[in-house]
Amino acid sequence: MAKLLFYRQKRVDEGVRTGLEVGEYELAWRFDPGPGESNPILLWFVDIKCEGPGIPDGPEQAQEWFENHGQMLRRGLRSYAQEIKTGTDIGFHSTTWNAEPQTSEDVQVTISCSASNRVSARQMASILEDMADQWDEILDALEWEEQAER
């Protein structure tokens, strides 16, 4: 069964890395460096894992799947944000939100997030809301594998 992983993470140096993987294969990515000295330690991360019989395993199909299911994924991000609106506790364990299968392909969507400090943990709901609001722009900004080869 194929698995898609969308990730977004912010580093201590304010850099933000975003990517999309099928299995262990990275299909798309983007890194926006922060203004300060490079520091790869993460402040927070958000993972959206999608798995099920309807998940594509090719790059073009994966890109199309994420574009076609953007509304469902935005709803999931907003729903999770409501659950953690006061914030999350810090630590090495992430909190997780599981969606009911909402596609005709019977795909299970799990959204996980974690923060490394109290300030970031209290901001996770707004981070999820921002991702939902900017979903199309975030996807459009990714550099897809075929673009990188040109």
What is the per-residue pLDDT across 35-92, written as a single tens digit (0 to 9) for each? 989 999 999 999 999 988 888 877 778 888 888 889 989 998 998 899 888 777 665 4
Instruction: Specify the 3-state DSSP secondary structure of 116.
Output: coil
As given in the structure block, the two tokens for residue 105 are 């392909």
Instruction: Specify the 3-state DSSP secondary structure of 53.
Output: coil
Q: What gap in Å lies between CA 92 and CA 67, rounded to an integer? A: 31
Q: What gap in Å lies between CA 65 and CA 77, rounded to an integer? A: 17
What is the per-residue pLDDT across 93-106, written as a single tens digit (0 to 9) for each? 456 677 665 555 67
How far, in Å, are 34, 45, 119, 139, 144 from residue 90 at the CA level?
23, 12, 9, 28, 33
pLDDT > 80? residue 149? no
pLDDT at 23: 81
Cα dihedral 40, 119, 76, 45 in deg (nearest 10): 10
Question: Does 108 or 57 have the greater pLDDT score?
Answer: 108
pLDDT at 103: 54
Smallest CA-to-CA distance from 34 within 18, 16, 14 is with: 14
pLDDT > 90? residue 114? no
Other beta carbons less than 10 A from residue 150's beta carbon: 4
pLDDT at 54: 84
Task: Look up the domain containing 135 and give its range.
Answer: 3-148
Rounded average pLDDT over 134-146: 89
Residue 110's H or E segment, with its range, is strand 108-115
pTM of the model: 0.87
| Overall number of domains in the chain | 1
